[in-house]
Structure 1
Amino acid sequence: MNRTNWSVLAIAVGVALATGWWVGRSTAPETALSADAPSASAERQVLYYRNPMGLPDTSPVPKKDAMGMDYIPVFAGGEPAAEPGAVVLPPEKVQKLGVRTELAVRESLAGAVRASATVQVDETRQFVIAPKFEGWIDTLYANQTGMTVQKGQPLMALYSPELVAAQSEYQIADAAARRMASADPASAATMRQLRDAARARLRNWDIGGAQVTRQGSNSRLVLTAPADAVVVEKLVVQGDRFEPGQTILRLADLSTVWVVADVPTSAAAGLTVGGEATFQTPSLPGERFSGRVSFIQPIVNAASRTIGVRIELPNPEGALRPGLFGDVDLTGTATDAAVVIPRSAVIDSGTRQLVLVQTAPGRFAPRTVRVGARSGDRIEVLSGVEVGEAVVVSANFLIDAESNLRSAMQGMDHGAAPPPTGETDTPPVKAEEAPAEPDPHASHTGGQ
């Protein structure tokens, strides 16, 4: 009996040793592998998966967006925090959109400005024909609007009873002064004073240099053109009666014209009186007219937010007709060295101005910028972009539409929740589902 028990015990011990050796051999590599696994997984631990288009949307598990693009894994310590509203595009998408960037540089702007402009009449070369006495238009020589007249050319012949009386007084006084020139000094002086008074009356009516002729018992005053000009407005016809001060004709000398440009307030700071200017219009292709800035308006146009800049241009051939539209290139003073980017990089939403800055390959971050002076296709950036940063100059609007940038910014403005950092999806245990605490007396119940 004892020998049998010892035999059974020996066999059991042998089987146990063999089993232990075999189990230990089969699990040793797995144990070693599992010992190394935590360090490897810790190096590439996925925190969460973020939206490939930069939207404030994350997922704890791999997924695809509505366009079929895979969400991008974010590893622990493997990626710096992205700027708010950052847009991420895969390389093939960047190439397909034709995204092109340029570096922001520090340079001075030349101060050149291009603005739309209009040819206008030189206000200092306009003339109004308005007699200072009443009468009738006996003959109207300048009887067509747009008619060209030369200096000294007759414009009209006027008849006025007042003019007849004044002219008669002058002629009588002049004749009497001549007859009494050899009389006593007092009488001669009196007649000269009467003659001078009659002449002054005519001069007060602007008749001193006019041609006065006699036609029987009627007196006719012929008014002539004060300069080479064009009849821009005719307000009467032959035979009309006119009152003192009534406008009959308006003339304009077009040998010199004004070109008035509407310059944005942001671009007018570098312009000065005397600066060079060049005007061109589609109505005269291939022709350029050079002049200088003669005046800069001190008041801003409230409707267009522009400043009027006036350029005087010679117009001997009359090619520049008032009313023509065109463009004017103005040369201003150069600005101080500042951060400058292409104008195409700026997205103006109406309420603010944005640029897309490339922070990494395929990653674009929107920046709110404050811009300054403009020159051609270059613009000064006062804040928002630093020298050396790459800004998107082409396809920036496509990126904006492709990535729903506005939605991302709106989500950011509404305080989107921060991305998860490894939390599990296990819902919290409700109060009614919590397990009851064990009864401390339960273990003693069965023993009683």
Structure 2
Amino acid sequence: MTPASAPRPRLAGWMLVLSLFLSACGDGHRDGDGHGHADEEAHTSDEHARAGEHGGRLLEQDGFAVELAIAEDGAPPKYKAWLYRDGEPLPATAGSMQVELERLGGVRERHRLEPQADGSLMAASVVGEPHSFDVEVRANIDGEALRWSYPSYEGRTTIAADVAKASGIRVAPAGPGTIADEHEVQGLLTPVEGRVASATARFPGPIRSLRASVGDAVRAGEPLATIESNLSLSTYTVASPIAGVVTQRNGTVGGMATEGMGLFEIADLSTLWVDLHIFGADAQHIRPGVPVAVTRLSDGATVTTTLERVLPGTATASQSTVARATLDNDDGSWRPGSAVTARITVDLEPVERMVPLAAVQRFRDWDVVFVRVGDTYEVRPLELGKRDGERVQVLSGLDAGAMVVVEQSYLVKADIEKSGASHDH
């Protein structure tokens, strides 16, 4: 694997590969291979299993055989079987059988097969995904009690705890939460109206000094310039009318100031307006008082504030409705004129079960997460519901409290795909 975004990716990836290699070298029967036959029970493995004429797994013992498959063919998957004696087919009424499964975590289920008109036996119960379990088959054919057991795993792998930790794989329990109904919009930072002032010349005359530059922070009453009055031939001081940041500087030393000339513009940028442009029908859902997450495009920094008002009328140039929020800017890191993105939360809906979006992967034709039991990880196909920018509702496929991989889930997916765990149909 080459985990592009994992912490210490090169080291973590090699540790994972090395651990799996050593595991394979030290355990030649990881899936239960090499057990042979017992007096009452025959053990088979994926490696040694033979296929029957219907494509199912052929289970043989004492001259009897059962061919077992999971039949789908556009219908929900169910167990289907055919009976044989000395290689010859037997009618379905010649025997009875049931299949017991033990899934990861100790969950057990039973499927009883009944004779069908086509000569097979078939279960009425559905085999849920994933088809990954330890299988025990019990059959009675012509009065002979037979039993087989074997592992049939798919979408499953084992990763040692220290390797998972070094690879940044982290799990969290699935449980209830809240899905936000959010609208993502664009916006612009502007100074707050009434917090911009001009330091102006009172009398005409030559400019003798300019003591501030654009970007300087100034105090209220701080001297910014001196001018020699043409009327009195004495100098006077121009002071900053407010505390803030110099955003404009006009004139040059030695140049002439006219009466009322604005030498400096000072803006109090400790708070800024965020003007958000909302288009079309989205404007009907936006109301003051809802949360807004504002993201700075330059570095992705995000702060949360509250929508204060929706302005009347429409912005002429964009034909959008403008919604406004106020942003604290004591550290000066947000700059007026900057473009931002924002997520406006118009509603919060509680759900019984949810997972982070980062936990969800595509596996075969499914949306899945990976659950951990001990050092074993296994796929869980999900039916998903509503989602927001961070979370998604789980409608089915995941038990409450299941430990779900919420970080570096793609590493687990890659390891499962590399192992090539079969789908035993």
> Do they fold alike, i.e. is TM over 0.5?
no
Larger relative contact order (CA 8 Å, sep ≥ 6): 1
Which one has a larger percent strand, Structure 1 or Structure 2? 2
| TM-score interval (norm. to shorter) | 0.3 to 0.5
Q: TM-score, normalised by structure 2?
A: 0.38
